[in-house]
Structure 1
Amino acid sequence: MLISDRMLLKVIVLGDSGVGKTSLMNQYVYKKFNKQYKATIGADFVTKELHIDDKLVTLQIWDTAGQERFHSLGVAFYRGADCCVLVYDVNIQKTFETLQTWHEEFLK
Protein backbone atom coordinates (compact mmCIF):
# COMPACT_ATOMS: atom_id res chain seq x y z
CA MET A 1 0.00 0.00 0.00
CA LEU A 2 1.42 3.37 -1.00
CA ILE A 3 0.84 6.04 1.61
CA SER A 4 0.90 9.48 0.03
CA ASP A 5 -0.04 11.56 3.06
CA ARG A 6 0.36 11.37 6.81
CA MET A 7 -1.92 13.00 9.32
CA LEU A 8 -1.78 13.37 13.11
CA LEU A 9 -4.99 13.82 15.08
CA LYS A 10 -4.91 14.62 18.79
CA VAL A 11 -7.95 13.23 20.58
CA ILE A 12 -8.75 14.02 24.23
CA VAL A 13 -10.90 11.62 26.29
CA LEU A 14 -12.89 13.56 28.91
CA GLY A 15 -15.32 12.73 31.69
CA ASP A 16 -15.69 12.35 35.43
CA SER A 17 -13.44 10.10 37.46
CA GLY A 18 -14.28 6.40 37.24
CA VAL A 19 -16.49 6.50 34.14
CA GLY A 20 -14.21 4.21 32.11
CA LYS A 21 -12.06 6.57 30.02
CA THR A 22 -8.91 4.46 30.41
CA SER A 23 -10.80 1.22 29.81
CA LEU A 24 -12.39 2.61 26.66
CA MET A 25 -9.02 3.81 25.34
CA ASN A 26 -7.28 0.50 26.14
CA GLN A 27 -10.06 -1.51 24.52
CA TYR A 28 -9.88 0.59 21.33
CA VAL A 29 -6.08 0.61 21.03
CA TYR A 30 -5.02 -2.74 22.54
CA LYS A 31 -8.28 -4.74 22.48
CA LYS A 32 -7.71 -5.49 26.19
CA PHE A 33 -9.75 -4.91 29.32
CA ASN A 34 -8.40 -4.81 32.87
CA LYS A 35 -10.93 -5.38 35.67
CA GLN A 36 -8.78 -3.59 38.24
CA TYR A 37 -9.45 0.13 38.60
CA LYS A 38 -6.47 2.44 38.87
CA ALA A 39 -7.11 6.19 38.68
CA THR A 40 -5.21 8.14 36.03
CA ILE A 41 -2.91 10.77 37.50
CA GLY A 42 -2.69 13.88 35.33
CA ALA A 43 -2.85 12.41 31.85
CA ASP A 44 -1.46 9.63 29.70
CA PHE A 45 -1.53 9.04 25.96
CA VAL A 46 -1.28 6.23 23.45
CA THR A 47 -1.08 6.21 19.67
CA LYS A 48 -2.93 4.16 17.09
CA GLU A 49 -2.27 4.19 13.36
CA LEU A 50 -5.08 3.85 10.86
CA HIS A 51 -5.05 3.64 7.07
CA ILE A 52 -7.87 5.74 5.63
CA ASP A 53 -8.01 5.86 1.84
CA ASP A 54 -4.40 6.62 0.87
CA LYS A 55 -3.52 8.39 4.13
CA LEU A 56 -1.76 7.15 7.23
CA VAL A 57 -3.61 8.66 10.18
CA THR A 58 -1.96 8.59 13.59
CA LEU A 59 -4.36 9.08 16.47
CA GLN A 60 -2.72 10.49 19.58
CA ILE A 61 -5.31 9.62 22.22
CA TRP A 62 -4.98 11.48 25.53
CA ASP A 63 -6.55 9.93 28.60
CA THR A 64 -7.16 12.61 31.22
CA ALA A 65 -7.72 12.36 34.96
CA GLY A 66 -11.33 13.03 35.91
CA GLN A 67 -10.63 14.17 39.47
CA GLU A 68 -11.31 17.81 40.27
CA ARG A 69 -7.77 18.37 41.56
CA PHE A 70 -6.35 17.76 38.06
CA HIS A 71 -8.69 20.11 36.17
CA SER A 72 -6.15 22.94 36.18
CA LEU A 73 -3.83 20.74 34.12
CA GLY A 74 -6.50 20.31 31.47
CA VAL A 75 -5.69 23.44 29.49
CA ALA A 76 -2.16 22.22 28.77
CA PHE A 77 -3.40 18.81 27.62
CA TYR A 78 -6.19 20.27 25.45
CA ARG A 79 -3.84 22.56 23.52
CA GLY A 80 -3.60 21.43 19.91
CA ALA A 81 -6.40 18.88 20.23
CA ASP A 82 -8.51 18.19 17.16
CA CYS A 83 -11.47 16.73 19.03
CA CYS A 84 -12.65 15.24 22.29
CA VAL A 85 -14.55 12.12 23.25
CA LEU A 86 -16.96 12.69 26.15
CA VAL A 87 -17.43 9.65 28.38
CA TYR A 88 -20.01 9.02 31.12
CA ASP A 89 -21.27 6.10 33.19
CA VAL A 90 -24.78 5.07 32.13
CA ASN A 91 -25.46 4.02 35.74
CA ILE A 92 -24.61 7.40 37.27
CA GLN A 93 -26.81 10.28 36.09
CA LYS A 94 -24.44 12.96 37.48
CA THR A 95 -21.64 11.84 35.12
CA PHE A 96 -23.95 12.56 32.17
CA GLU A 97 -25.01 15.92 33.59
CA THR A 98 -21.37 17.08 33.87
CA LEU A 99 -20.63 16.43 30.18
CA GLN A 100 -21.72 19.96 29.30
CA THR A 101 -19.09 21.34 31.69
CA TRP A 102 -16.39 19.08 30.20
CA HIS A 103 -17.38 20.18 26.70
CA GLU A 104 -17.33 23.87 27.57
CA GLU A 105 -13.93 23.51 29.26
CA PHE A 106 -12.56 21.77 26.16
CA LEU A 107 -13.81 24.55 23.87
CA LYS A 108 -12.03 27.24 25.93
Structure 2
Amino acid sequence: MASRRRMLLKVIILGDSGVGKTSLMNQYVNRKFNNQYKATIGADFLTKEIQFEDRLFTLQIWDTAGQERFQSLGVAFYRGADCCVLVYDVNVAKSFDDLNNWREEFLIQATPSDPENFPFVVLGNKVDLDGGNSRVVRCLIVLHSFT
Protein backbone atom coordinates (compact mmCIF):
# COMPACT_ATOMS: atom_id res chain seq x y z
CA MET A 1 0.00 0.00 0.00
CA ALA A 2 1.40 3.40 -0.98
CA SER A 3 2.13 5.77 1.87
CA ARG A 4 0.06 8.92 2.08
CA ARG A 5 1.82 12.19 1.54
CA ARG A 6 0.78 14.99 3.88
CA MET A 7 0.82 18.65 2.93
CA LEU A 8 -0.02 21.82 4.89
CA LEU A 9 -1.94 24.54 3.03
CA LYS A 10 -2.53 27.98 4.49
CA VAL A 11 -5.82 29.55 3.36
CA ILE A 12 -6.69 33.18 4.16
CA ILE A 13 -10.32 34.39 4.21
CA LEU A 14 -10.79 38.10 3.48
CA GLY A 15 -13.73 40.44 3.01
CA ASP A 16 -15.62 43.30 4.59
CA SER A 17 -16.86 43.08 8.16
CA GLY A 18 -20.12 41.17 8.48
CA VAL A 19 -19.99 39.23 5.19
CA GLY A 20 -19.90 35.91 7.06
CA LYS A 21 -16.23 34.87 6.95
CA THR A 22 -16.32 33.31 10.43
CA SER A 23 -19.61 31.53 9.70
CA LEU A 24 -18.23 30.07 6.48
CA MET A 25 -15.12 28.80 8.25
CA ASN A 26 -17.08 27.30 11.16
CA GLN A 27 -19.62 25.72 8.84
CA TYR A 28 -16.88 24.16 6.69
CA VAL A 29 -14.70 22.90 9.54
CA ASN A 30 -17.19 22.16 12.33
CA ARG A 31 -20.48 21.83 10.42
CA LYS A 32 -22.00 24.33 12.88
CA PHE A 33 -23.81 27.61 12.39
CA ASN A 34 -24.17 30.24 15.11
CA ASN A 35 -26.82 32.93 14.70
CA GLN A 36 -25.03 35.27 17.12
CA TYR A 37 -22.79 37.79 15.36
CA LYS A 38 -19.45 38.35 17.06
CA ALA A 39 -16.80 40.38 15.25
CA THR A 40 -13.41 38.73 14.85
CA ILE A 41 -10.64 40.57 16.68
CA GLY A 42 -7.43 40.37 14.65
CA ALA A 43 -7.52 36.82 13.29
CA ASP A 44 -8.36 33.27 14.23
CA PHE A 45 -7.75 29.95 12.52
CA LEU A 46 -9.09 26.42 12.38
CA THR A 47 -7.63 23.33 10.76
CA LYS A 48 -9.29 20.66 8.67
CA GLU A 49 -7.82 17.54 7.14
CA ILE A 50 -8.97 16.46 3.72
CA GLN A 51 -7.85 13.69 1.43
CA PHE A 52 -7.49 14.11 -2.30
CA GLU A 53 -6.30 11.11 -4.32
CA ASP A 54 -3.22 9.77 -2.50
CA ARG A 55 -2.50 12.98 -0.59
CA LEU A 56 -3.60 14.13 2.83
CA PHE A 57 -3.94 17.90 3.18
CA THR A 58 -4.13 19.86 6.39
CA LEU A 59 -5.89 23.14 5.67
CA GLN A 60 -4.96 25.91 8.07
CA ILE A 61 -7.85 28.33 7.48
CA TRP A 62 -7.27 31.88 8.72
CA ASP A 63 -10.31 34.02 9.41
CA THR A 64 -9.32 37.68 9.49
CA ALA A 65 -11.10 40.73 10.86
CA GLY A 66 -12.86 42.78 8.22
CA GLN A 67 -12.46 46.09 10.05
CA GLU A 68 -9.89 48.49 8.64
CA ARG A 69 -8.24 49.00 12.03
CA PHE A 70 -6.94 45.41 11.90
CA GLN A 71 -5.62 45.49 8.33
CA SER A 72 -2.14 46.45 9.53
CA LEU A 73 -1.89 42.94 11.01
CA GLY A 74 -2.11 41.52 7.49
CA VAL A 75 1.60 41.07 6.85
CA ALA A 76 1.99 38.60 9.71
CA PHE A 77 -1.19 36.67 8.92
CA TYR A 78 -0.92 36.62 5.12
CA ARG A 79 2.72 35.56 4.85
CA GLY A 80 3.09 32.02 3.54
CA ALA A 81 -0.49 31.76 2.28
CA ASP A 82 -1.21 29.19 -0.42
CA CYS A 83 -4.67 30.50 -1.34
CA CYS A 84 -6.94 33.46 -0.57
CA VAL A 85 -10.73 33.29 -0.34
CA LEU A 86 -12.46 36.63 -0.99
CA VAL A 87 -15.95 36.74 0.53
CA TYR A 88 -18.79 39.19 -0.13
CA ASP A 89 -22.41 39.45 0.97
CA VAL A 90 -24.74 39.13 -2.05
CA ASN A 91 -27.10 41.55 -0.27
CA VAL A 92 -24.51 44.35 0.09
CA ALA A 93 -23.12 45.75 -3.16
CA LYS A 94 -20.27 47.57 -1.41
CA SER A 95 -18.89 44.28 -0.06
CA PHE A 96 -18.63 43.04 -3.66
CA ASP A 97 -17.15 46.33 -4.88
CA ASP A 98 -14.48 46.12 -2.16
CA LEU A 99 -13.17 42.71 -3.29
CA ASN A 100 -10.54 44.15 -5.60
CA ASN A 101 -9.20 46.30 -2.74
CA TRP A 102 -8.94 43.19 -0.54
CA ARG A 103 -7.16 41.35 -3.35
CA GLU A 104 -4.70 44.17 -3.99
CA GLU A 105 -3.97 44.66 -0.29
CA PHE A 106 -3.38 40.94 0.10
CA LEU A 107 -0.90 40.90 -2.79
CA ILE A 108 0.96 43.91 -1.35
CA GLN A 109 1.21 42.47 2.15
CA ALA A 110 1.67 38.75 1.36
CA THR A 111 4.20 39.34 -1.44
CA PRO A 112 3.64 35.95 -3.11
CA SER A 113 6.42 34.80 -5.41
CA ASP A 114 4.07 34.71 -8.43
CA PRO A 115 1.32 37.31 -7.84
CA GLU A 116 -0.09 36.98 -11.38
CA ASN A 117 -0.94 33.33 -10.81
CA PHE A 118 -1.72 33.33 -7.09
CA PRO A 119 -4.98 31.39 -6.49
CA PHE A 120 -7.97 33.44 -5.35
CA VAL A 121 -11.45 32.06 -4.78
CA VAL A 122 -14.46 34.42 -4.73
CA LEU A 123 -17.48 33.40 -2.64
CA GLY A 124 -20.84 35.14 -2.54
CA ASN A 125 -22.39 34.54 0.88
CA LYS A 126 -25.79 34.96 2.54
CA VAL A 127 -27.80 33.82 -0.49
CA ASP A 128 -30.27 32.23 1.93
CA LEU A 129 -31.37 35.49 3.59
CA ASP A 130 -34.86 36.83 3.00
CA GLY A 131 -35.65 34.23 0.36
CA GLY A 132 -33.31 36.06 -2.00
CA ASN A 133 -35.45 39.21 -2.04
CA SER A 134 -32.63 41.40 -0.65
CA ARG A 135 -30.04 40.19 -3.12
CA VAL A 136 -28.35 43.02 -5.00
CA VAL A 137 -25.35 41.22 -6.55
CA ARG A 138 -26.88 38.94 -9.17
CA CYS A 139 -23.86 37.82 -11.15
CA LEU A 140 -20.12 37.63 -10.81
CA ILE A 141 -17.78 39.20 -13.30
CA VAL A 142 -14.53 37.26 -13.53
CA LEU A 143 -11.71 39.52 -12.37
CA HIS A 144 -8.98 37.06 -13.29
CA SER A 145 -9.12 33.73 -15.03
CA PHE A 146 -7.06 30.84 -13.79
CA THR A 147 -5.60 28.22 -16.06
Q: TM-score, normalised by structure 2?
A: 0.71
Q: Is the 8 A contact 1:10 1:60 kept in 2?
A: yes
Residue 66 of structure 1: aligned partner = 66
- Is 1:29 the counterpart of 2:29? The answer is yes
Structure 2 alignment gaps of length 5 or more: 109-147
Structure 1 alignment gaps of length 5 or more: none
Residues paired across the two proteins, number: 108
Q: Deviations over 1:54-83 (max 9, x none)?
A: 111000000000001000001110000001
Matches within 5 A, 1:26-105: 26-105=26-105
Higher relative contact order (CA 8 A, sep 6+): 1
* Residue 3 of structure 1, CA deviation: 4.0
CA RMSD of aligned residues (A): 1.1
Q: TM-score, normalised by structure 1?
A: 0.96
Q: Deviations over 1:66-108 (max 9, x none)?
A: 0010000011100000010000111110000000000011112
* Residue 4 of structure 1, CA deviation: 2.5
Residue 107 of structure 1: aligned partner = 107
Q: Segments of 4+ in structure 1 off by > 6 A?
A: none
Which is higher, the Rg of structure 1 or of structure 2? Answer: 2
